[in-house]
Amino acid sequence: MFIYSLPIFFNNIGLASPLELLIIFMALFGALFMVALFFGGDMQQKTTDNYLFAGWNGSSPLSWVFWPFFVILNACLYTADTLAKNGQFTVSSWDDVHLMLLLPVIWWTTAVWRCSPNTKLCVWSACARLLTFSVFFEYSLKLLIRLDYPRIFFECDELLLDYGSCF
* Three-state SS sequence of 41-70: CCCCCCCCCCHHHHHHHCCCCHHHHHHHHH
Name the phi and psi angles at 88, rounded to 5.
Answer: -95, -5
According to the model, what pLDDT value does residue 160 have? Answer: 52
According to the model, what pLDDT value does residue 107 have? Answer: 95
- The pTM assigned to this predicted structure is 0.85
Dump pLDDT digits (tens) for 16-52. 899 999 999 999 999 999 998 887 666 666 666 788 8
Domain with 162, as residue range(s), is 5-166
pLDDT of residue 100 exceeding 90: yes
According to the model, what pLDDT value does residue 79 have? Answer: 94
Distances from the Cα of 94 to the Cαs of 2, 40, 116, 130, 138, in angstroms? 16, 38, 31, 25, 14
- The gap from C-alpha 120 to its chain's centroid, in whole angstroms, comes to 24
According to the model, what pLDDT value does residue 49 have? Answer: 72
Let me know: does 112 contact 132? Beta carbons within 8 Å: yes
Bigger pLDDT: 131 vs 92: 131
Q: Which of 7-16, 44-53, 126-135, 155-164 shows the lowest mean pLDDT across its residues?
A: 155-164
Bigger pLDDT: 167 vs 82: 82
165 pLDDT band, cuts 50/70/90, is low
62: buried, middle or exposed (CB in 10 Å: 19+, 13-18, 0-12)?
buried
Let me know: does 33 contact 122? Beta carbons within 8 Å: yes
State the total domains in the chain.
Answer: 1
Q: Which of 12-16, 142-146, 154-158, 160-164 shows the lowest mean pLDDT across its residues?
A: 160-164
Average pLDDT of span 71-79: 95
Let me know: does 152 contact 8? Beta carbons within 8 Å: yes
Rg (CA), the chain: 18
